[in-house]
Amino acid sequence: MSATATTVDPREVERFAALAVEWWNPRGKMRVLHRFNPVRLAYLREKITAHFGRDPRDIRSLEGLRILDIGCGGGLLSEPLARMGARVVGIDPAERNVRIAALHAQESGIAVDYRATTAEALADAGERFDVVMAMEVVEHVADVGLFLARAAEMVTPGGLMVAATLNRTKRSFALAIVGAEYVLGWLPRGTHDWNRFVTPEELQAALEAGGLEMIDREGVVFNPLADEWRRSSDLSVNYMMLAERRAAA
Ligand SMILES: C[S@@+](CC[C@H](N)C(=O)[O-])C[C@H]1O[C@@H](n2cnc3c(N)ncnc32)[C@H](O)[C@@H]1O
């Protein structure tokens, strides 16, 4: 694949770079990510440990696994995964995000290999990982097909890819754009472009085109009564997908 093809939309990256100091403020502009982080982490821990035959109760259950967190932002997922023993490489095209992430990890005493780069650059360099993650990123890239192809390329045989994103439905327009950005003010206006949302069928097809097999998909829904996010079979707004690269027989 061409080394010059890029998935970066400079306006998207600039938007996140401008918010860099907000990453670790649980009441700031990233509060939605903070609120559903426990749900995402529980999913990642459960699925990764089950796949690699690890004990999820072990506090170092991911020991030795090489994990790539694409579009890591401030490291809200990279850090806890590294704490569980994984060797995490966190990448983001926004240099400011990576600087904030590295500073936070240093203050927390956690080793994460943060780099200001892209999935396509790492794929070009021939890097391989046991787990490749793209969490809340595909809806911000310039070319979803290219992005997923380059990300999938880096999954080792027997390894996993996990993606989390927003479905393109009437419901996601009402909740994730009108509700979250305009009515509730949970996210800065313009954070999301509904046309860039990706249906589970499109995501699955792109992962399969990259040689992966979809093995799980799960929704994440907000329960306003309990004021909490939880996992669900409802994929109509937020959802996560797990795919594997089958090891050669
Ligand atoms: C909504 S944030 C998600 C951050 C993190 N994955 C999380 O869930 O906490 C999206 C991130 O994707 C990054 N990003 C945007 N375009 C990208 C691209 N083409 N490749 C990789 N990351 C990208 C942004 O800079 C931003 O940090």
Mean pLDDT (whole number) for 96-109:
96
Q: What is the DSSP letter of 117?
A: -
Is it the case that residue 74 has pLDDT exceeding 60? yes
Q: Coil, strand, or helix at residue 240?
A: strand
Is it the case that residue 2 has pLDDT exceeding 70? no
Which residues, judged by CB distance below 6 Å to any ligand atom, belong to the binding site of ligand 1? 7-8, 12-13, 16, 33, 70-73, 76-77, 92-94, 97, 118-119, 135-137, 140-141
CB 214 within 8 A of CB 207: yes
* Residues linked to residue 216 through DSSP beta bridges, in sequence order: 242
167 to each of 162, 190, 229, 235, how far by Cα in Å?
15, 17, 16, 7
Query: What average pLDDT does the structure give for the chain?
Result: 93
pLDDT digit string (tens) for 85-101?
A: 999 999 999 999 999 99
- Model confidence at 1, pLDDT cuts 50, 70, 90, reads very low
Hunting for tokens 């990706």 — which residue is that? 198
The torsion defined by the Cα of 84, 40, 200 and 225, in degrees rounded to 10, comes to 170
Give residue 249 CA to ligand 1 midpoint distance, Å.
Answer: 35
For residues 42-65, one letter each, b for 16 or more C-beta atoms within 10 angstroms of the residue's C-beta and e for the rest, the string is ebbbebbbebbebeeeeeebbeeb
55 among annotated binding-site residues: no
CB 101 within 8 A of CB 74: yes
Model ipTM value:
0.99
The better pLDDT of the pair 152, 172 is held by: 152
Determine the straight-line distance between the first and last CA of the chain, rounded to whole angstroms: 27
